[in-house]
Amino acid sequence: MHIVRVIFELHSHVKGFPMHKFGILIGLAATVAVSSVVADARIRVVHAAPFSDTDEGTAVTVTVNGDTLLEDFRFGDFTDYVELPDGIYDLAVFPAGSEDPAITASVDLSDDVDYTVLATGNGSTQDLALWPLVDDADASGDGNLNVRVVHAAPFAATSEETEVSIRTAGGDVVNGLVGVPYFVESGFFAIPSGTYDLKVASNDGSVNLIDPLPADLPAGADITLVAIGDGINQPLGILALPVGLLESRAPVDNSVNGWWESANAAEEGVLLQPIPSGNRLVGAIYTYAPDSSGEQRWFTIDSDEAGFDGREAMGTVYTATGATLAGDENADLESVGSFGIEFVSCTEAIATVMLDGGAEATWTLDRLVQSVDCGLSEQTE
């Protein structure tokens, strides 16, 4: 197995500034002066070190063998592959405006090997570090692509606290990836091409941490998914190499849990319970029969598998029959329609119910009970 040999020296302070304010190695840039020998080694670099709470504060200048190769390189940036002859290269990283390097490193590159080098850590929960990876994906096979998952998100101080699982939106574990700690990568594995809706969650799947929007993954590609950010200085996210930062939605949590009443209809409303592990919303509707009988009715609702993104849910309306008060016989559930609900904020929502046979209702909902913290901001056009 090819190995990158890296020797680096951290300087505890540079010109009076604490080390945790500085970036680390970020870089071989897009052009390098090389000899006439064909360059077989290739290297790309990634800035995944959230050591500042501003974008400008993460900027660094990088030199290779004393020459400036990259300036104003910031968190989330990455380079294309750069071809280099095999050999040892001296690297140095300078915080913006500093004349002294915050980190120096020597990297030994081998012919016929591709490398991805990540700058990681935030200097508080996890130390700043240089993390070289060998890009050694095998042929994926017809109709497949290669995927690698890299955990470079220093959101906790211990290895155990950073452990995550990789799951589908419905909660299924991907490729056995459970208990993956910070500073560990999966290696490449082949999956069929297609549209994937994946998320990063806690080990047991009960808490969602990063939830990118569904993405089309084409056959023949070699894609590295890097979990970045610390949730302290920089938000958590997924950097897909060589594509870029994936657009994410707010992860499903318990924000909308509770009792909601209709503001435009008397004595009607919904009781809601999110199930974050499955991106799912279940609940009950209390209302009346759609005819003129005035009979009280209640329905249960279920967004079905992965039918809830934290803001909107769509799913099935059920009715229950065949049971008695305090009885020991299960009720018979029957699908009787569909529903949709959009949460405008922590206290406002709009729900529509469409029953089989044509009956339909739209409720403007106000929150009656909020028993948990809510992270939804005001939804605007």
pLDDT confidence of residue 20: 32
pLDDT confidence of residue 36: 36
Measured CA to CA in angstroms, residue 97 lies from 71, 172, 284, 300 at distances of 11, 47, 59, 61
Q: Please tell me the pTM assigned to this model.
A: 0.82
pLDDT confidence of residue 380: 52
Q: How far apart are the first and last CA of the chain?
A: 53
pLDDT confidence of residue 34: 37
Instruction: List Cβ neighbours of 215 (8 Å cut-off, separation of 6 or more).
Output: 195, 196, 240, 246
Per-residue pLDDT 10s for the chain (381 aa) are 333 333 333 332 232 323 333 333 333 333 333 333 455 889 898 999 998 999 999 998 878 888 887 889 999 999 999 888 899 888 777 878 888 877 777 888 899 999 998 888 998 999 988 888 999 999 999 999 999 999 999 999 999 999 999 999 999 999 999 999 999 999 999 999 999 999 999 999 999 999 999 999 999 999 999 999 999 999 999 999 999 999 999 899 999 999 999 999 989 999 999 999 999 999 999 999 888 888 999 999 999 888 999 999 999 999 998 888 898 888 899 999 999 999 999 999 999 999 999 999 999 999 998 778 898 877 654
Domain 1-134 falls under CATH 1.10.238: no
Phi, psi of 256 (to 5 degrees): -100, 10
Q: For the chain, which residues make up each domain, given as ranges? A: 1-134, 137-246, 258-367
pLDDT confidence of residue 283: 97
Domain 137-246 falls under CATH 2.60.40: yes
Cβ contact 278:172 at 8 Å: no
